[in-house]
Structure 1
Amino acid sequence: MSKGLSLFQKRRRRTRTALASRAGGRPRLHVHRSGKHIYAQVIDDAAGRTVAAASTLSGHEGGTANVAAATAVGTRVAEAAKAAGVTRVVFDRGGFLFHGRVKALAEAARAAGLEF
């Protein structure tokens, strides 16, 4: 039986605490990845609602758990956020390391016009 938080939970808590201090009222681009899919959503914490969302569940060609799929999700969530009037966000990677699919999603969102 384990005591306390896992390393993932500690990393998630540390990331969220740091985000809260430097967000400055901007919405956050939250990323979740599982073994099969990757999900991204822009959340306005002040209003308590999701502004834009995208995931690999909507049927991406060429696989769902690879860098190409994450790049497509990053582009789609950035386009949806820009359509909703959001251009500046803070990046919430949760407890996931900024590497691989998470990094590909972030770079695609930046290339599509989101600033963070």
Structure 2
Amino acid sequence: MGRVFVVFLEGKIYSCKHCGTHLALSEDIMSKSFHCRHGKAYLFDKVVNVTFGEREERLMTTGMHIAADIFCALCGSLVGWNYETAQEKSQKYKEGKSVLERFKICGPNGSRYWVGHDVHSGGSDADDV
């Protein structure tokens, strides 16, 4: 395996919870209304310092998609997934976009998101405003 080159971002940065590698900028968030099995997740227009897993068909709440898991390029932690293609016409905007799971990243102010037994899809967080 060769040397890993990482991109350093400037601004409000989301980073890998395990190693601190920069993953995305706050300004690249398209939506904060996504959900995964660990709670909330954010849809990003662009992410950096990630590698892609195998492409596979996945039946999600919004229909059938071809998606690939994304991993931190430095430590290899699973941080989310990337939408390759969407079957439903209304979901085409997701193609080429990535979702980062909040549980697996640190927020722009260094905050870590934790999963508790009371995780629910409603409500408001300080990071959502």
TM-score by length of 1: 0.29
Select the structure that is richer in strand.
Answer: 2
Could you say which structure has the greater relative contact order, defined with CA pairs below 8 angstroms and 6 or more residues apart? 1
Select the structure that is richer in helix.
Answer: 1
